[in-house]
A and B are shown apart, each in its own frame.
Chain A
Amino acid sequence: MNFKNPEFEIVRNKDKCISCGACARQCSYEAHIIDPDTGELKAEDMNCVACHRCVVICPTRAITIKKHEMTYRENANWTAAYINQINRQADTGGVLLSGMGNPQPYPIYWDRMLLNASQVTNPSIDPLREPMETRTFIGAKPEKIELDAKGRLITRMPPNVELQMPIMFSAMSFGSISLNAQKSLAAAAKACGTLFNTGEGGLHSDLFQYADNAVVQVASGRFGVHKDYLDKSRIIEIKIGQGAKPGIGGHLPGVKIDEEVSRTRMIPLGADAISPAPHHDIYSIEDLRQLIYSLKEATEYQKPVAVKIAAVHNSAAIASGIARAGADIIVLDGFRGGTGAAPTRIRDNVGIPIELALAAVDERLRSESLRNRVSLVAAGSFRNSADIFKAIAIGADAVYIASSALIALGCHMCQQCHTGKCNWGIATQRADLVKRLNPEIMAERAANLLKAWNHEIKEMLGGMGINAIDSLRGNRLMLRGVGLNEKELSILGIKHAGE
């Protein structure tokens, strides 16, 4: 007996259905089944996760997925979600596991900030006719620039990476997502002059051609970390934490470790890939410095080294330490950041919003005269170009996007990444599912998204009478809060609308 109720109802329009069976062939969750005796199509509502693969694939659009009408007695406290979760745990004794980012209704500060525009006194600029710069350089910047008598640069510049737009693809490992999904993002990054991130899963040999667009990650499991991996990158990123699961590590289950994943991570076939919660060679800022410099030594000081942390209560003090430890880039990942799998309670309750963490970190680095020593990259759920624009106005140099990039690749946010059954061929290693994702088509879609957002950023800049993203960075006067209290405004460092 299963105490759980179905969440969704599969409605098949009999007038439209031609019984082609495509839905049944496509559904890895077995929500559509062909009755072996009658050959009739049937639906198993209990198995449906609302990924909408059947809806999109159905040639006659005969399928609708609805929220199931089956309901518990209304109760603002004991919601259906909590009742279902308790039953799941009573069935299994397991720690609840979820995919994707925190879906709970916490405040979204991007939606409480509004942008400025020029009127009369400071004319706006039309990016269609006038140059508009969104190029971004990430890496440490020197205290000052010295030139010789002929105006040539004397100062030795720390390694910087030129991005054509302030948007990069965030870390998603081969293992958590498919190789086709990684290929799509890598090709899109190359086409748009930006970077993708390998996550902690090594760099598959098929992606070596994208080395100039790769951020390679070094995390606690050190999977796939070797000399070629470090060399075939533009940036090396030390992963301390992730917004979706601050303070804990990761277990890529052995069932997802097939031949290719095993080769890329350089680990045995079918064994769990365990990333411990801490790096066991880092217990302090001094130890972090040691790892940063070991990577710099190994790559002859040619590449910026980034340190990624989850946004937590004392991020500002930690970021100050990271800057002093010699990192070139600090990545801050907010609590709404996505994941291939995270314990549900951690995902939904640990960490803080990126908006507040970013403002606090930028402010702290400025007050300690450290801001030029590091670039600040924000991550943790950018849903559109305006969110990104606001992050840069608060103080970010660039942002990482991941969930939105996956939506461009077909993701419908069903939050089942951890099951490895992704019908869109994204968060799965099953060959039959992975081949559904065409890397060429999806690379174009991901690149389209970046181009569109970059253009929107230019429009917003132009509207403010600004012609370079550098003039927006940390320009909090361009932001006004709506419906925020004094404390929130003071942390964000912005005025209220009307002020």
Chain B
Amino acid sequence: MTVTAGLKHHKELNEELKAAFAKAKSVTLKDVNGQRYIGCGVRGDYKIDIYGTPGNDLAAYMDGLTINVNGNVQDAAGNTMNNGTIIIHGRAGDALGYAMRNGAIYVETDVGYRCGIHMKEYKDAKPAIVIGGCAGAFLGEYMAGGTLVLLGLNRKNDDSLVGSYFGTGMHGGVIYVRGNVPEHRLAKEVTSFECSGEDMEQIARYVKNYCTYFGVSYDEVMSEKFLRISPRSKRPYGDMYAHI
């Protein structure tokens, strides 16, 4: 089933989208022009195939859908997302996956500032974001759980793999980086390690998906070394206070 977004207001578009779900499990959204909140608060195992550029808060609070975006996404996609998958054939704006709780987001190229901040996990609910290109500053800020994978593919020589304040305030979860991160980029709350066999199994799983979605050679991606970045403590500010 196809819904054409055109210049419709987001409210109207979302109403049409929800009506379409009553008839079909899979909906193609055509001619999207920055409409916000697509799939916001929707629960179920529906699929949305998006053509054009979805606006901010794509899939906010979403629970279980699979969204395929044939292009870039704007800011705060996957905001407080509960579950589901977003596959972005392009780049993502700022605050991707803010406070995301489960599910996965795959981005073919780069992400903006504050990607994956405040991601958290609880028991089996472990969110993941896989970034094919580079990331802006504050990647994984306040991160409390889940996995970020940063591949840095197709990087030009002067591109920085990751911006400043990388992992600042991080107190849970793990970030895997393909290549090297200069020490000065790492926030004081995190440390980098060599990857263990278990880490490599995790990485392989995400990279396989990435390569399938975007048609990239798995062996080539895995040919370079990965680093594991994890928090020093799950209570980074535990000693900061004095009770009176």
Contacts and interface: CB of A to CB of B under 8 A. Distances in A.
Interface of A: 84-85, 88-89, 91-98, 220-222, 225-227, 230, 251, 253-254, 262-263, 266-268, 270-274, 276, 280-281, 290, 293-294, 297-299, 301, 343-344, 416, 418-419
A254 B240 contact: no
A293 B121 contact: no
A274 B41 contact: no
B149 interface: no
Contacts of B243: 97, 416, 418-419
A221 B118 contact: yes
A281 B241 contact: no
Given A94-B242, A227-B41, A280 B117 contact: yes
A56 to B, nearest CB: 24
Interface stretch (B53-61, B155-163, B205-213, B222-230): B53-61
Contact of A95 (B57, B80, B98, B241): B241
A268 B172 contact: yes
What band does the interface of chain B fall in when counting residues whose beta carbon is under 8 Å from A?
A: 35 or more
A95 B240 contact: yes
Contacts of B144: 267-268, 271, 273-274
A468 B109 CA distance: 61
Given A227-B82, A251-B240, A281-B95, 11 more contacts: A85-B244, A88-B242, A94-B239, A94-B241, A98-B244, A230-B61, A254-B234, A254-B235, A270-B235, A281-B98, A297-B14
Contacts of B80: 222, 225-226
The SS class assigned to the B binding surface is loop
Contacts of B141: 280
Q: Which 5 interchain pairs have the tightest Cβ spacing?
A: A298-B41, A94-B242, A222-B99, A271-B234, A92-B242
Contacts of A297: 10-11, 14, 37, 40-41, 60
Nearest to B169: A274
The residue in B79, B171, B172, B241 that gathers the most chain A C-beta atoms within 10 A of its C-beta is B241
B37 A274 contact: no
A14 B241 CA distance: 39
Contacts of A270: 234-235
Contacts of A84: 244
Contacts of A251: 237, 240
A96 B121 contact: no
B60 A268 contact: no
B235 A294 contact: no
Contacts of A254: 234-235, 238
A141 B241 CA distance: 45
A222 B117 CA distance: 11
B235 A271 contact: yes
29 contacts: A92-B242, A97-B242, A222-B98, A222-B99, A226-B63, A226-B80, A226-B82, A226-B101, A251-B237, A251-B240, A263-B122, A266-B125, A267-B121, A268-B122, A268-B172, A271-B171, A272-B234, A274-B171, A276-B142, A280-B98, A280-B117, A280-B141, A290-B36, A290-B56, A290-B57, A297-B11, A297-B14, A297-B60, A418-B241
B91 interface: no
A272 B120 contact: no
B108 interface: no
B145 interface: yes
A225 B60 CA distance: 11
A230 B98 contact: no
Nearest to A91: B242
A271 B41 contact: no
B114 interface: yes
B114 to A, nearest CB: 5
A230 B41 contact: yes
Contact of A267 (B37, B60, B145, B240): B145
A97 to B, nearest CB: 4
A106 B105 CA distance: 51
A227 B121 contact: no
Contacts of B56: 290
Given A272-B235, A281-B98, A294 B82 contact: no
